[in-house]
């Protein structure tokens, strides 16, 4: 069944994670994504181990990192400095609906592949640029990486335990969220293009996207004038809403209102806590966090994870385990929701690769998994031959 973006052509000049995350999503939705790589391939092909092994047990150019964001794409490996290659990419851009790139501002101008040149040549083109700091502002020429964006954008200052060093999020979340914003912007620009025939340039920055997803913590500062501080797993606005140790692991207890707190107290065998003026409302619990949280922790420490989960679920208090990645991806919930998939990959020893699934569930136009992440340049000849036939 065709996907919602069936027939859309995306010329992907991006690498690493933010751009590839965006184009993988567009590919899952049915777009044809032509990934342009250097002759050495996307940088992330070497970011390992782990690597997928070939039949001889040697590492392939399919690192786990690369595979995380490059399925449903065709790989064309070329030398961008070659004038003939530049002409070919111009022709591809003229046949594409979308061009996406993550070079430094002005980095593609010497090849004639910058947004000013291509948008002037092809007025209906949607051209998306992803950079560290954007195409304007005093930092426009500085390089941008996920870790730097997390640092500059403020999220690291509120991640980690109080009194300890700032901590990055455990995955490249600045890149990933920026890629999702980019995909949303591209879809909006395509709707405008389809209505008016007019393409446009989308300028999105890792740092801007990171600041945008500070959400409540950003608004806590803008409303109060006070910068939020690191508080570990505690929530800045809700108590108790954090991780607690049990006798055999960790659980999350997420009390969102006063009635849930009363039911938590019932489970703990401490119904009087719910009527204590220090704890009766969320605002009071915030003021007395340092008193209440150790009291709850003391009650939970001797109980097993399963006892806590069963007891609180029975009382309709939000609770859950802190899973390892293995436990999460091998869970019955993950399998029921298709959150891991397997695709054929004949160049590998196993003949297939296992990947993360797409979370979107459409009732009419489901996502499709048409091809595994490609080897470097796997589609160069096929794409260029088709282009020559079309000229």
The catalytic site residues sit at 175
Helix (H) or strand (E) holding 342: strand 340-344
- Do 20 and 176 form a contact (C-beta atoms < 8 A)? no
Q: Give the β-pairing of 32-37 and 319-321.
A: unpaired
- Residue 43 token pair: 């940088």
Q: With both helix axes pointing from N to C terminus, report the angle between 258-268 and 289-300 in degrees, rounded to the nearest 10.
A: 40
Which residues, 6 or more positions from 310, have their beta carbon under 8 angstroms from its beta carbon? none
Q: Which of 158, 156, 137, 160 is nearest to 147 (CA)?
A: 156
Q: What is the dihedral of CA 360, 362, 366, 371, to 10 degrees?
A: 0
Q: How far apart are CA 186 and CA 5, in angstroms?
A: 12
Q: Which of 92, 263, 231, 254 is nearest to 162 (CA)?
A: 231
């Amino acid at each position: 069944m065709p996907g919602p973006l069936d027939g859309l052509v995306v010329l992907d000049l991006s690498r690493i994670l933010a751009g590839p995350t965006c184009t993988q999503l567009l590919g899952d939705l049915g777009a044809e994504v032509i990934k342009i790589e250097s002759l050495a391939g996307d940088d992330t092909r070497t970011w390992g181990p782990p690597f997928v092994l070939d039949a001889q047990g040697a590492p392939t150019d399919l690192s786990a990192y690369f595979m995380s964001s490059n399925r449903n794409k065709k790989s064309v490996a070329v030398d961008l400095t070659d004038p003939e290659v530049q002409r070919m990419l111009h022709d591809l851009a003229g046949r594409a609906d979308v061009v996406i790139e993550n070079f430094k501002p002005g980095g593609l101008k010497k090849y004639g592949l910058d947004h000013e040149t291509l948008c002037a040549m092809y007025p209906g083109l949607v051209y998306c640029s992803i950079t560290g700091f954007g195409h304007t502002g005093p930092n426009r020429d500085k390089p941008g990486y996920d870790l730097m964006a997390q640092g500059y954008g403020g999220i690291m200052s509120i991640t980690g335990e109080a009194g300890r060093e700032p901590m990055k999020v455990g995955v490249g979340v600045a890149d990933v969220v920026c890629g999702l914003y980019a995909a949303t912007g591209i879809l909006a620009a395509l709707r405008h293009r389809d209505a008016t025939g007019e393409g446009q340039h989308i300028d999105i920055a890792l740092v801007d996207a990171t600041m945008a997803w500070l959400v409540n913590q950003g608004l806590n500062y803008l409303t109060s004038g006070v910068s939020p501080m690191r508080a570990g797993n505690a929530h800045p606005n809700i108590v108790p809403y954090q991780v607690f140790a049990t006798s055999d692991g960790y659980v999350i207890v997420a009390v969102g209102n006063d009635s849930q707190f009363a039911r938590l107290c019932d489970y703990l065998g401490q119904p009087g806590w719910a009527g204590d003026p220090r704890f009766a409302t969320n605002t009071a619990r915030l003021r007395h966090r340092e008193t209440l949280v150790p009291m709850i922790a003391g009650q939970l420490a001797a109980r097993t994870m399963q006892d806590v989960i069963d007891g609180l679920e029975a009382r309709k208090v939000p609770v859950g385990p802190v899973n390892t990645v293995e436990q999460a991806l091998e869970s019955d919930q993950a399998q029921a929701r298709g959150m891991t998939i397997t695709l054929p990959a004949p160049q590998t020893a196993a003949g297939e690769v296992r990947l993360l699934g797409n979370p979107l569930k459409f009732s009419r136009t489901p996502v499709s998994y048409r091809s595994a992440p490609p080897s470097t340049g796997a589609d160069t000849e096929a794409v260029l031959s088709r282009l020559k036939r079309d000229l």
